[in-house]
Structure 1
Amino acid sequence: MNIQNIYQLYSISSGIEINSKKVKKGSIFIALRGKNFDGNQFAYEAISNGAMLAIVDDKKYAFCGKIIFVYNTLYFLHELAMYHRYRLYHVPIIAITGSNGKTTTKELTKVILAKKYKKVHSTINNFNNHIGIPLTILSMPRDTQISVMEIGANHEKEIEKMCRIINPDYGYITNFGRAHLEGFKSIEGIIRSKLELYDFLKKNKKVIFINGDDSIQLYNSIGTNRYIFSGTKKKKTDVNIEYSWGNNIKKSALYIKNIKIISPLIGNYNLYNIASAITIGTYFKVPLKKMKEAVEEYIPNNYRSQILMKNNIKIIIDCYNANPTSMIEALAFFNNIQGHKTIILGDMLELGPFSKNEHEKIISFIKKSNINIAFLIGNIFFNTKKTSYKIKNFINKKNFVEWIQKSSIQETDYILIKGSRKMELESLICLI
């Protein structure tokens, strides 16, 4: 069967699934391979669970008419997504990438656009990699009016490849931070990677949204069809933003056309995320009053910039992920809050040979800060140089849990929890 034949079946199916246990009746199961699993082994199980079709790339599992062999199932998933995008070429797609703030910016943009469009499609959670992006494309209904998609990457040329699948009409880069250094090798590699989005949009004469306060974005978008926002009044700025920089633990605020917009998101680092979403909304002619409503109604979730009150302690939960740039930004904001401050930090992963040095920079910041107590969790933090009365190290989360169950965190006003996703530090909240 060719891609067109399978697409016809997909169009009447209940969707695509890559987990045989989550198969819905009438869905299509695609058997993907990984380092520690082989989805081909579960093709028959998927059919038994109600899948109308299973796609495999190992012939020995294609032993019935409902199981179809292809050369490479991941490549097939990409091809099917590209074909679906081709069929829905009229749907405008906004692609968002960057080192930090991608998901927050995507969510804010989605809620703003929803004030004008009834059918807004977007990336679910952080389905932003080579598997999540094609699945996101294939989840796009035919009546979609506009879509917002997030692109993640941990090595060069990945964004370029994802752009060929998404075929975005618009794009925005949140920033260029020190994330995934293991794959990118250097900050220069990170910049080149993110700029692959600009390259695609420029080549296809599409629109680029630009943070005019970011010199890298400004310089590398010269000669493109760009729409600029800035906190300083520049002659070629399309949207002027006035930022309310501060250390407010409860809110972030900015002004556009003298209208004050207050977001539940905390931290100065979120102001650019809010501003970029408002800029995109402005481009798509969402009324300012409606954008204000959307931003002020948006409550962060998934452990991103959330505040929880527990035992009279304000707990800032920002532990969905972490890299050196986002960690320093969070610590710098937290450092300026008035009161007794405690931090619980987990290892920053995927930094390769830069790992030790980047963790030592965090420790150096803590030593010089007015943060009162720091609990550092993970093998990398544990094996870095640390000599400070305010720092307590634990080689893993289990050891920290054992310690806190016997002892307790001293009386404090604020606690910041932040670490890489694999550290799963949110599980510590119940112990505070």
Structure 2
Amino acid sequence: MSLEEIYTRFCNHPRISTDSRNIVPDSLFFALKGPNFNGNTYADEALEKGAAFAIVDEAEYVSGPKTLLVPDALSCLQKLARHHRRQCQATVIALTGSNGKTTTKELILSVLERSYRTQATQGNLNNHIGVALTLLGLQKQTEMMIVEMGANHQREIAFLCELAEPDFGYITNYGKAHLEGFGGIEGVIKGKSEMYDYLRATGKTIFFNADDPIQREKLQGYDKTIGFSTTDPAHTIIKDLGADPYVKLKVDGNLIETSLSGAYNFSNCAIAVLIGNYFNVPFPEIRMGIESYVPENNRSQLLEVGKLQVLLDAYNANPSSMAAALKHLSGLEQTKKIAILGDMFELGEDAAIEHQSIADLASSLDLESLILVGKAFSRTTTDAHQFESFEELADYLKSHPISGPATVLIKASRGMALERLQDHL
């Protein structure tokens, strides 16, 4: 069946399902495959549960007129997404980077939606399937679309750009994330820069952090750039007023006070200001958009737990974001500072070195106490309290409760689920 024929059906049934356990009524079900499943085997079940059509790529699973056969279901989903994006009039802003993608996306959304009909990636749907689903959710009346792109290997960002065909783009930073898939920090820089490569090749405009030497180097000689800086008058000046405990910034003498903790969130706020300015959002609306944003989902949250002030940043972690969070904690004034750090994943052969480096950094900072948890951190050489599992740490906290007042940083990769510690503090 042709793409145009599939698209006609999508226009009549503009919702997508990819999991037969959660069928959206009157949707198109795409029979995707994974290492341990074959979506084709669930096509009939999807139709029985209310899907309008099932798109399969194995002929033996065609059971009637509501089963549509294509060469490859995933490729069909992606091509359908790009085709739909081309039918819509929205300006697409693409976003990637090692740290801060989702927070930055939400800040930009909070600013732009005050002047435009705006959509953005839902949750963390930022891979080769998630970006396609994001684009297929694009409404015809939408004026601005913010598409978050994640990657853990080379050529992934390039592919996602070819899928979404962004008009603008921004890279939050280059950090030590997914080192295993990218092959080291140089691989990370090359992989994330595929977005700038695409935008340059297509003559599109690039937003950038002019204080980032890597971004400056990558964009040298390209004139379709719009940057922010804390010091360089060649770009929009946005002053960093610190983050104790919340990020504050100043633009043309105007103060913006946020609900975001961590100095590393300054650039996330600054790019939202820059993009709002570029698209002529009135400054009072830009300020309101940023000041009204409250972090959630274990990202840069500042919580009160009894007499403890908890910096909960346990959604994800890598050596770059871990170091930044520790330095922010150490720089806080007039507080007892405690760090509880969990393992960082997807570091490959660099895992032992990177965990030891973080343990050494934490030990060198002005901290009252350091607690490390996880198989990798438990093998580091340090004077810190070390636990191989969450359960061991939880048992320790029962007999050694943390006394306040104090500020406690909780940071780890998602798989550690350290947000559970809130019940043990």
Q: Report TM bin, short chain.
A: over 0.9
Q: AA paired with 2:205?
A: V
Is 1:242 the counterpart of 2:239? The answer is yes
* Secondary structure in structure 1 of the residue aligned to 2:356: helix
Is 1:25 the counterpart of 2:25? The answer is yes
Gaps of 5+ in 2: none
Counterpart-to-counterpart distance in 2, 1:369 and 1:240: 31
CA contact (8 A) 1:254 1:271 kept: yes
* Secondary structure in structure 1 of the residue aligned to 2:370: strand
CA contact (8 A) 1:96 1:148 kept: yes
Is 1:324 the counterpart of 2:319? The answer is yes
For residue 132 of structure 1, the aligned residue among 125, 130, 154 is: 130
Counterpart-to-counterpart distance in 2, 1:378 and 1:38: 34
Is 1:346 the counterpart of 2:342? The answer is yes
1:392: Cα distance to partner? 1.6
Name the residue aligned to 1:335: 330
* Secondary structure in structure 1 of the residue aligned to 2:269: helix
Counterpart-to-counterpart distance in 1, 2:348 and 2:231: 37
Question: Identity rate of aligned residues, in percent?
Answer: 39
Name the residue aligned to 1:58: 58
Is 1:400 the counterpart of 2:357? The answer is no
For residue 202 of structure 1, the aligned residue among 200, 203, 211 is: 200
Name the residue aligned to 2:182: 184
1:330: Cα distance to partner? 0.2
For residue 266 of structure 1, the aligned residue among 256, 261, 273 is: 261
Counterpart-to-counterpart distance in 2, 1:38 and 1:345: 38
Residues 204-243 of structure 1 correspond to what in structure 2 (within 5 A)?
A: 204-224=202-222, 225-234=224-233, 236-237=234-235, 239-243=236-240
Name the residue aligned to 2:81: 81
Name the residue aligned to 1:121: 119
Counterpart-to-counterpart distance in 1, 2:265 and 2:345: 22
Name the residue aligned to 1:372: 368
* Secondary structure in structure 2 of the residue aligned to 1:280: helix
Is 1:6 the counterpart of 2:6? The answer is yes
Counterpart-to-counterpart distance in 1, 2:188 and 2:61: 40
Aligned residues between the structures: 423
Note closer, same or farther for the CA distance 1:402–1:32 as it changes in structure 2 (3 Å cut).
farther
1:219: Cα distance to partner? 1.9
Counterpart-to-counterpart distance in 2, 1:357 and 1:374: 18
Name the residue aligned to 1:96: 95
CA contact (8 A) 2:28 2:52 kept: yes
Gaps of 5+ in 1: none
Name the residue aligned to 2:306: 311
Q: AA paired with 1:282?
A: N
For residue 409 of structure 2, the aligned residue among 402, 416, 422 is: 416
Q: AA paired with 1:283?
A: Y
Counterpart-to-counterpart distance in 2, 1:357 and 1:425: 22
For residue 171 of structure 1, the aligned residue among 162, 169, 172 is: 169
CA contact (8 A) 1:172 1:210 kept: yes
For residue 277 of structure 1, the aligned residue among 257, 272, 284 is: 272
TM-score (norm 1): 0.95
- Range with greater deviation from structure 2 (415-424 or 167-176): 415-424
Counterpart-to-counterpart distance in 1, 2:71 and 2:374: 41
1:321: Cα distance to partner? 0.4
Counterpart-to-counterpart distance in 1, 2:255 and 2:93: 26
Q: AA paired with 1:33?
A: K
Name the residue aligned to 1:291: 286
Counterpart-to-counterpart distance in 1, 2:375 and 2:5: 51
Counterpart-to-counterpart distance in 2, 1:38 and 1:308: 43
Note closer, same or farther for the CA distance 1:409–1:137 as it changes in structure 2 (3 Å cut).
same
CA contact (8 A) 1:248 1:266 kept: yes
Counterpart-to-counterpart distance in 1, 2:45 and 2:418: 35
Q: AA paired with 1:329?
A: A
Name the residue aligned to 1:158: 156
* Secondary structure in structure 1 of the residue aligned to 2:376: helix
1:371-396 Cα offsets, whole Å, 9 max, x none, are: 1222212111122223x1xx222212
**Structure 1 residue ranges, 4+ long, deviating more than 6 angstroms after superposition:** none
Counterpart-to-counterpart distance in 1, 2:415 and 2:137: 27
Counterpart-to-counterpart distance in 1, 2:254 and 2:127: 37
* Secondary structure in structure 2 of the residue aligned to 1:371: coil
Q: AA paired with 2:351?
A: S
CA contact (8 A) 2:199 2:206 kept: yes
Q: AA paired with 2:389?
A: N
* Secondary structure in structure 2 of the residue aligned to 1:71: coil
Counterpart-to-counterpart distance in 2, 1:431 and 1:38: 41
Counterpart-to-counterpart distance in 1, 2:169 and 2:290: 20
1:37: Cα distance to partner? 2.4
Counterpart-to-counterpart distance in 2, 1:33 and 1:420: 27
Q: AA paired with 1:195?
A: S
- Range with greater deviation from structure 2 (64-73 or 78-87): 64-73
Counterpart-to-counterpart distance in 2, 1:289 and 1:229: 19
Counterpart-to-counterpart distance in 2, 1:104 and 1:41: 38
Counterpart-to-counterpart distance in 2, 1:205 and 1:378: 46
